[in-house]
A and B are shown apart, each in its own frame.
Chain A
Amino acid sequence: MFRKAINFWAKHQILITAIFFAVVLVYPLVLESYYLRNVAIQCLLYSILSLALNLIMGYTGIVVLGMAAFYGIGAYSLAILTTKAGFSFLPALVCSVIITFIAGALLALPTLRIQGNYLAIVTLGFCEIMRIVELNWVSLTNGPFGIKQIPAPSLFGFTLSQPVQKYYLAVVLLAIVVLLMHNVINSRSGRAWKSIKSDPIAAQAMGINVFRYKVFAFAICAAIAGLAGVYYASYIGYVDSTTFNYNQSIQILSMTIMGGLGSIPGSIFGAIFFVILPEFLRWLGTFCGEWIVEWRQILYGLILVLMIMFKSDGILGGFDLRQIHLYNRLQEKNAAAEEGQKK
């Protein structure tokens, strides 16, 4: 049943992507509730973060437990550039993304010498260090007070102050990230990343500069997370260090893993699922009592345990829609040819 749905999806990929974005575009026009719009923005924002992590974890096979660090660097960069350095939104966005790209590369250069779990722990430590820096570098970050009054995003003179406009900005950013990621993973570089995940020694023997590709995967992952941070800062209008902590990193990690490693729709699905779940339970709580909200953590645990037991690479993990489409089409063609021969 599930397999059939995946086959159908693989066959009509473009159509289903189009429907998804159509729904996303129409959504705020139909549902004018401030609350629902906010939840949707969260979904879009976490989709970007989850995709960023998927690039490095799902495709390149490096576990990063400190995504919030890059998210935070992006957010703080924008906040500082717009409030203190007087940048307008677009140049500040570009600079912030470049800053996180460099931060990612700088972290990757020394740490990629260590492997596997140790590397994961280093990224976890980096996240904590960044949080402490953000909290204590008062002259730059205002320390525990955070940075207030970050201007709303503006593009070419138009200020996007309405929530709907901010919503559409998030849609545009997500669409760009999805498009670039889709392009790159089915290219020379994307295949290089996948081959590194599969077998680094063989990848090297194929002429791939493994270290270089890992550094770039790290830096691009950081840059995308930085982009999400930029959006977050200008959307909320306020940043402080408590947002970019360990829990945030684990939240993003759960989304990527639950949705499916190495799957773009998987990451988006994971993000939507984990944003909506607590909201859904809160809504449910209004009918059957508050207890269900308090049971939330247990439900999370249960979901993760079931995932690990039955599908450890995530709901959509291991389904390469492109491969499924090509494979099925070839099978159909062969079957048709055989049929023709019989006649």
Chain B
Amino acid sequence: MSEVVLHCEKITQRFSGLIAVSDVTMDIYQNEIVGVIGPNGAGKTTLFNDITGIYRPTEGTVTFAGEDITGLAPHKITAKGMTRTFQNIRLFDNMMVLDNVLVGLHSANKASIVESMLRLPRDRREEKESLRRAEEVLELTGLYEYRYNYANSLPYGLQRRLEIARALASRPKLILLDEPAAGMNEQETSELLVFIQQLKKMGNTIILIEHDMRLVMNLCDRIYVLDHGMLIANGTPDEVRSNPQVITAYLGEEV
């Protein structure tokens, strides 16, 4: 089996009395698409927040590319090569599409404020390099013709796509997508499916939270199922689909 990119060891997240995530252990391997599914309130987004450093897990450790990142600040985790998108789109509305992607390249560059003020060689070199990379990513995601539009002027489906483009720009080792198909129509969802498959072919490793079962089942190599913060199943789409516990969690118990 290929290399482990992300390893979560017994992650628990408590909010005073509420246990949002309980004892979750998972492994993500290189170039996999892993789905995290579960009913509403199962703790999927909390788990994402624990992994990306927005929350600090109450217990357990997160190991990313062989390094313990538990409790690191989010920007430091991003700098190590893990990026994410958000359930409710969080673009920089009043910036150009191109600038949104360039912000995604922030952690790939080093020029300081003074270097930028004086346009010193390192700043110029990095700007040129970033622009090239940003345009490459925009072309890849089909957003190139919109590069000078404001982000909030894009139609919904393209805004989702831009969020992924922004996360993709810095060539991360792992991308976390939080409900990328939320609010999309059938057409947009199928386009997204093709797009994410394309990302996998390019060698990306992806975790996604999703409610759209058709998308998850078609896309994912493996699926983790959460219910009430606990991991109730994991395996290939076929295994998960036929798991009685999963069926109970989603459809309720037989009366």
Which residues of A approach B to under 8 Å, CB–CB?
A: 180, 183-184, 187-192, 194-195, 198-199, 201-210, 216, 220, 318, 320, 323, 326-327, 330, 334
Q: Are B79 and A188 in contact (CB under 8 A)?
A: no
Produce 1/0 per residue, B82-98, CB < 8 A to A: 01101000111111100
Cα distance A320–B149 when bound, in Å? 11
* Chain B contacts with A in 46-75, Cβ cutoff 8 A: 52, 54, 73-75
Residues of B103-127 at the interface with A, using a CB-CB cut-off of 8 Å, are: 103-104, 106-107, 109, 111-113, 116-119, 123, 126-127
A229, B54: Cα distance in complex, Å: 41
Do A206 and B106 have beta carbons less than 8 Å apart? yes
Q: What is the bound-complex CA distance between A195 and B100, given in angstroms?
A: 8
Whether A180 lies near B103 (C-beta < 8 A) is no
Q: Which residues of A contact B104 (CB under 8 A)?
A: 206
Q: Which of B74, B130, B150 contacts A323 (CB 8 A)?
A: B150
B residues less than 8 Å from A192 (CB atoms): 103, 106
A189 touches B75 (CB 8 A): no
B79, A184: Cβ atoms closer than 8 Å:
no
A205 touches B113 (CB 8 A): no
Do A189 and B112 form a contact, CB below 8 Å, given A183-B118, A198-B95, A204-B75? Answer: yes
Whether B74 and A184, one on each chain, are in contact in the complex, defined by CB atoms closer than 8 angstroms, is no
Query: Would you list 11 pairs from A and B whose C-beta atoms are within 8 A, ordered by A residue?
Result: A184-B117, A189-B112, A192-B106, A194-B94, A195-B95, A195-B103, A199-B90, A204-B73, A204-B78, A205-B84, A205-B90
- Complex: how many Å from CA A326 to CA B98? 11
Q: Is the CB of B92 within 8 A of A198?
A: yes
Knowing A205-B84, A327-B148 touch, does A188 contact B92 (C-beta < 8 A)? no
| A187 and B116 form a contact (CB under 8 A) | yes
A326's nearest neighbour on chain B, judged by CB, is B148
CB distance from A200 to the nearest CB of B (A): 10
Residues of A within 8 A of B94 (CB): 194, 198, 318
Q: How far is the CA of A183 from the CA of B111 in the complex (A)?
A: 13
> B86 to chain A: closest CB distance in Å?
7
Q: Is the CB of B90 within 8 A of A207?
A: no
> CB distance B106 to A220 under 8 Å?
no
A202 touches B106 (CB 8 A): no
Residues of A within 8 A of B52 (CB): 205
Closest to A325 in B: B148
Cβ proximity bits B20-36 to A, threshold 8 Å, 1 near / 0 not:
00000000000000000
Known interface pairs A199-B92, A202-B92, A205-B74. Does A188 touch B107 (Cβ–Cβ under 8 Å)?
A: no
Interface presence of B222 (CB below 8 A): no
Q: Is B204 an interface residue (CB 8 A)?
A: no
Q: Which residues of A contact B79 (CB under 8 A)?
A: 207
Given contacts A192-B103, A203-B103, A327-B149, contact A187 B111 (CB under 8 A): yes
